[in-house]
Homo-oligomer: A and B are copies of this chain.
Amino acid sequence: MDETTHLERYDPSAFERPSVTVDLILMSVIDGVPAVLLMRRDEAPFAARWALPGGFVGIGESLDDAARRVLADKAHMADAYVEQLYTFGAVERDPRMRIISVAYFALLPADRFVAALTATAELSLAELTVPWRGETGGPVEVRVSGDDAVTLAFDHGEMLGLAMGRLRGKLDYSGVAFALLPERFTLRALQDVYEAILDTRLNKPAFRRRMLDRGWLQPTGEREAGTSFRPAELYRYRMPQEEQ
């Protein structure tokens, strides 16, 4: 075995190589419900099943570039928050051939998510019902436009569970929540995002103070419009000094 490893070091081109793809878990929070972008497969394997958008990684293309390309080409969405999640490398994960897939997760505010969705026929929004299983993530129940729960193609269900776990884990110590909100937003909207992702009710005054004390929010001086009650202040996310 040591012999083989040694040979590989010298001439790796002599060995059969796996294909490498990226798969994209593009999420948002729509009307207080976590949502993910799915595409319906129209060929085997898993024909007519729902799957995450993905694509092969080009030989001269970095993984991050491939993820952004899939985001632009398949999902027709640009400038999302994108982060590498995990790499899935089980031998039999694709029945056709050996494919290693690097999963990326991406976040978009509801308005831009819905806009891109309605502009593109073959895409579909799926609502997520997410039982709390800690940061590691676990099985996630997926409903496409109100229908019954569906099972995703390949190991995409596992990817989705992991993405949801990561989102929950990072929610409170990073700025990911703001990637799900428009540039200007109210504290109530921020709390709605938190409640949707964590699947809990939060105490309003406590939440409010916690957020303001962190110093990440900049009051714009402007107010929300079109309410029949007292309009809330609009805030802007100001990235803290230490990046990410």
Contact = CB atoms under 8 A, between A and B. Distances in A.
| Assembly stoichiometry (copies) | 2
Interface string A95-111: 00111101000000000
Given A18-B17, A20-B20, A73-B5, A61 B91 contact: yes
A18 B20 contact: yes
Interface residues of A, number: 47
* Majority SS at the chain A contact face: loop
B89 A13 contact: no
Contact of A59 (B18, B59, B74, B84): B18
Contacts of A102: 87, 89
A203 to B, nearest CB: 23
A39 B81 CA distance: 37
A12 B56 contact: yes
A102 B85 CA distance: 12
Contacts of A19: 12-13, 15, 17
Given A5-B55, A8-B56, A62 B87 contact: no
Contacts of A168: none
Contacts of A242: 133-134
A162 to B, nearest CB: 11
A21 to B, nearest CB: 8
A206 interface: no
A156 interface: no
A193 to B, nearest CB: 22
A2 interface: yes
Nearest to A243: B136
30 contacts: A1-B69, A1-B73, A5-B55, A5-B56, A5-B74, A8-B56, A9-B43, A9-B55, A12-B19, A12-B56, A12-B99, A13-B97, A15-B58, A16-B59, A17-B17, A17-B19, A17-B20, A18-B20, A20-B100, A57-B89, A57-B100, A60-B91, A61-B91, A62-B89, A63-B89, A64-B89, A89-B102, A134-B242, A134-B244, A135-B173
Given A87-B87, A133-B242, 9 more contacts: A1-B69, A5-B74, A8-B55, A13-B97, A17-B18, A20-B20, A61-B91, A62-B90, A64-B89
